Amino acid sequence: MKERLSRLKIIRKLIKSYRIESQEALLGYLQKEGFEVTQATLSRDLKLLKVGKLSDGHNGYVYTLPGEDERQESEQTLVQDFLRGYISIDFSGNLVVIKTYSGHADVVSAALDAMAMDEILGTVAGKDNCIFVCLREGITGDQFLDALKLRIPELEE
């Protein structure tokens, strides 16, 4: 999970910093940053980030990040990803364990990270179906769950 979140951050940075016209070029930049990914993985990452292509005005197209309006829509999509992927939430002290369906841990964790909740110190996703959330000092599991329900009213306990 760490790798995927790191890769998504790097992809955003690269698209902001360079004129990137193709997935091949972006794969090259990612390799220079130490990420070995397939074209299929990159394609999924670009879709998740809602990256588009715009004309550069010189007979070419470059990758662009979504605007503010699209970012809100993207966050709504991530909330839906959270709801589709999670199975249960349990906590002890300042640690929260979120169990997910197989293969959904990274997507659910990305959705949680995108919410930028003040209650969360950090998240760590397992490879497949488990996420650990460390809460900030003084925040209880119940407080976290209440805050999460404010953002995702459809959330069931």
Residue 69: pLDDT band by 50, 70, 90 thresholds?
Answer: very low
Nearest-10 crossing angle of helices 23-32, 39-48: 100
Q: What is the β-pairing status of strands 120-125 and 61-64?
A: unpaired
Cα dist. 13→9, 19, 30, 49, 89 in Å? Answer: 6, 11, 11, 12, 32
Residue 4: in which H helix or E strand, if any?
Answer: helix 2-17
- Which residue ranges form the domains of the chain, and what is each CATH number? 1-64 (1.10.10.10), 69-151 (3.30.1360.40)
Q: How large a percentage of the chain has pLDDT more than 70?
A: 89
For residue 79, what are its two tokens? 């909330």
Specify the pLDDT at position 17.
83
Specify the pLDDT at position 150.
82
Q: How far is 131 from 134, CA to CA, in rounded Å?
A: 10
Is residue 98 exposed (0-12), middle (13-18) or buried (19+ Cβ within 10 Å)?
buried
Question: Do 96 and 78 touch, CB atoms closer than 8 A?
Answer: no
Q: How far is 133 from 156, CA to CA, in rounded Å?
A: 18
Q: How far is 157 from 148, CA to CA, in rounded Å?
A: 11
- DSSP assignment, residue 48? H
Specify the pLDDT at position 56.
66
Specify the pLDDT at position 75.
62
With CA atoms as reference, report the closest residue to 119 among 154, 153, 145, 91. Answer: 145
Q: How large a percentage of the chain has pLDDT more than 90?
A: 48
Q: How far is 115 from 113, CA to CA, in rounded Å?
A: 5
Specify the pLDDT at position 88.
94
pLDDT digits (tens, 9 = 90+) for 96-151: 999 999 989 988 998 888 888 889 999 999 888 999 999 999 999 999 999 898 88
